[in-house]
A and B are shown apart, each in its own frame.
With several copies, the nearest count.
Chain A
Amino acid sequence: MSILIDEKTRVMVQGLGRDGSFHARQMKDYGTSVVAGVHPGRGGSVFEGIPVFDTADEAVGKTGAQCSVLFVPAPFASDAILESANAGVGLVVAVTEGIPVLDMSRVAQELDELDTRLVGPNCPGLISPGKSKVGIMPGNIFSRGPIGVISRSGTLTYEVVNQLSLAGYGQSTAIGMGGDPIVGMKYNDYLVHFERDAETELVVIVGEIGGTDEQDAAAFIGQHVTKPVVGYIVGRSAPPGKRMGHAGAIISGADSTAEAKVNVLREHGIPVADTVEQIVDLVAAGLGG
């Protein structure tokens, strides 16, 4: 098992520019079932054995794509998310960085009315090791196993996963939920799935400064998650009012500091690592207990 995607998930790639083409190939090589590309004006052509369509509607209609991964430039990305969602795609993964926050707010409202879940934007995507990879994660550092990973960051996810893999702790599914102020699914949405997933035995949540998602997760875990959870929060050394790379990583109030988040997690009985290396220790302890 795994959550959201597996080897049967039919994936389409929206936007076959430089990045889209590169990662379409990477995903295919990883084993992802890439069934379609969408690129206006290139309908009817074939890219690396993948049929390309002008619109998401056609791609879904002709290939039964269930999941779309987006490499569309920021000014057009929110339109592309809505195109896929309105075409009936159940899961959209938006890799694109730099989408205006009000665009995402409009997207979020509309997705509420549709049967579509969104991962990202500004995210590395998600991967169910050995089954399917949807996004830009480096497949080789992941390994199959019982750990669920949910992270707001990209390379930090790789760092964490790499250490887990090296220590022998494979992953059921690892998700980069995105570093923007407004993202689609959040910790709690993923936790619901991990809680139900038979393969997952423990979940690592990697958080950062900004917002209060980690607090929401802490409360949610206390009430609804029976599996052990390990936390890690970065940005303890970040000054207030400054954007730390991620648009969402800015300390805008007492609640959004790393300290506040660490404290709330611990108050809910969730062990929190001080360094990446410590995560492995806490995972070992969590699985042992």
Chain B
Amino acid sequence: MKLEEFQAKKLFREHGIPAPDGVMVTSAADGKTAALALGCPVVVKAQVKTGGRGKAGGVKLARTPDEAFSAADSILGMDIKGFRVERLLIDPAVPIAAEYYVGITIDRKRKIPVMMVSASGGMDIEKVAAETPEKIHFQPVHPERGLRFFEAKKLAFRLFSDSREVMAAASIMVKLWKCFNDLDATLAEINPLARLEDGSITALDAKIVLDDNALYRHPGMEELRLPTPSEKKELGAKSHGLSYVQLEGEIGCMVNGAGLAMATMDVIKHLGGTPANFLDIGGSSNPEKVVHAMELLVSDSNVKAIFINVFGGITRCDDVANGLVQALSGIDLEVPMVVRLTGTNEEEGIRILAGHGITALKDMTRGAAEAIRLAREGSVGR
């Protein structure tokens, strides 16, 4: 679960990390009021869960409340990489002397968190990593011991020379670790961490991604969820035990298992088709799940054909077939559908489906090819 900047900054401040105490607004008028209250100049910042908003014009300096109004007015409703701007953060503007990067994430290879710092702040850190990897300094963090002050100090001496700045930065790093650990985050990032002209160190941007699997330990965090329209659809699917990601293609897919679902999308693409979605219905043959999954697929107007790809494992194909039949009986389908069914008891399963007029194949690649063909023809497959 990605938090927005204004939410992440609040959590930072609660953990003792200095960050401008701005105001989140959803209208230009409120933006002006906030600018008046904070005192100008202010920075007007689009709250979107994507990078590169600065280049897209989503961040503006305002020297007067009126400028704040017009900046807010122009940014609200903007589309940044597919994200519509609905919220702004009005932050007091501060005089920046230099910008740094500080972040923590999970090092999958070493299986532990790692803190990364760089003097190349304010830039896309993945770009820094790709182009000048020597400019990023790493410190693995033992998950039980946490980031020790001496480790933070070593990193801070890579970025700063003044000992007060070193100590301030090291202290922020330790607090960032605590924030990351306390919240069960998978990413906690300050970019840029700024040295201001007065020598103080402060977090000018804030990014936190929480571990969805650990949200049960942080019930309050669920309230911070501000889903975009596509996230809403995914969350709705999740509430029915479905894992769904909408894409832009024509072939709606319904698959049991995440790996197999990716393989299904891949084979569609490999054969020249375009998958409309990722959709994993999990291991069960529960008809209710299939109904919800079908509703997701038909609600996507891009979908020209549906490909159901099921591998019967512990759950037998005949049971799966019965489940599918039951689920599909209540649905009035307007696009063609191809079912592929294989695994334990596949012959019996295919026979059951055929008995209800549902074409079922045993081969995944052929099934995908058939779905693509039907989508192109626009004909009905059952």
Contact = CB atoms under 8 A, between A and B. Distances in A.
A and B: bona fide binding partners: yes
Interface of A: 26, 40-43, 54-57, 74-76, 79-80, 82-83, 86, 98-106, 108-110, 136-138, 140-141, 151-159, 162, 179, 181-182, 206, 208-209, 211-213, 216, 234-239, 242-249, 253-254, 258, 274-277
A108 B214 CA distance: 17
A31 to B, nearest CB: 16
Given A76-B149, A208-B259, A276-B267, 15 more contacts: A40-B167, A54-B153, A83-B153, A86-B150, A100-B214, A103-B214, A105-B106, A108-B112, A155-B256, A156-B257, A234-B263, A236-B269, A245-B258, A246-B259, A258-B266
A249 B258 contact: yes
Interface string B268-292: 1110000100101001000000000
Contact of A206 (B111, B150, B217, B259): B259
B221 to A, nearest CB: 13
Contact of B259 (A80, A154, A216): A154
Contacts of B112: 105, 108-109
Interface string B143-177: 11100111001100100000110110000000000
18 contacts: A40-B163, A55-B150, A75-B217, A82-B150, A83-B153, A103-B214, A105-B113, A109-B111, A109-B142, A137-B313, A140-B344, A141-B313, A151-B259, A154-B283, A179-B259, A244-B243, A244-B258, A249-B262
Contact of A244 (B109, B217, B262, B267): B262
Nearest to A98: B213
Contacts of A213: 108-109
Contacts of A154: 257-259, 283
Contacts of A247: 212-213
Given A138-B343, A141-B344, A245-B280, A79 B314 contact: no
A136 B278 CA distance: 24
B310 to A, nearest CB: 9
B197 interface: no
A137 B142 CA distance: 34
Contacts of B313: 137-138, 141, 155, 158
A153 B126 contact: no
A149 B258 CA distance: 18
A247 B157 CA distance: 35
B262 A182 contact: no
B157 A55 contact: yes
B235 to A, nearest CB: 12
Contact of B344 (A41, A105, A138, A258): A138
A101 B153 contact: no
Interface string B198-236: 000000000000011110110000000000000000000
A153 B260 contact: yes
A276 B108 contact: no
Contacts of A212: 108-109
A159 B364 contact: yes
- Max count, chain B CB within 10 A of own CB: residue among A41, A57, A209: A41
B164 to A, nearest CB: 8
Contact of B184 (A26, A100, A136, A151): A100
B29 interface: no
A156 B150 contact: no
Interface size, B (range): 35 or more
A254 B150 contact: no
B5 to A, nearest CB: 17
B343 A162 contact: yes
B265 interface: yes
B365 A275 contact: yes
A55 B153 contact: yes
B69 interface: no
A101 B259 contact: no
Nearest to A233: B266
B314 A136 contact: yes
A55 B161 CA distance: 12
Contacts of A140: 344
A158 B258 CA distance: 12
B270 A275 contact: yes
- Max count, chain A CB within 10 A of own CB: residue among B113, B313, B363: B313
A277 B247 CA distance: 25
A100 B185 CA distance: 10
Contacts of A243: 245
Contacts of A179: 258-259
A54 B262 contact: no
A160 to B, nearest CB: 9
A254 B154 contact: no
Interface string B113-135: 10000000000001001100000
Contact of B258 (A102, A110, A216, A246): A246
A155 B315 CA distance: 11
B63 to A, nearest CB: 35
Contact of A105 (B129, B143, B148, B268): B143
- Max count, chain A CB within 10 A of own CB: residue among B108, B243, B261: B108
B280 A74 contact: no
B311 interface: yes
Contacts of A86: 150
B312 to A, nearest CB: 8
What 10 pairs between A and B have smallest CB-CB spacing?
Answer: A153-B259, A41-B163, A245-B258, A155-B257, A156-B259, A83-B150, A100-B214, A138-B313, A108-B111, A234-B262
Interface string B337-379: 0000011100000000000000000011100000000000000
Given A76-B149, A109-B143, A54 B157 contact: yes
A277 B327 CA distance: 30
Contacts of A82: 148, 150
A154 to B, nearest CB: 5
A54 to B, nearest CB: 5
A155 B340 CA distance: 14
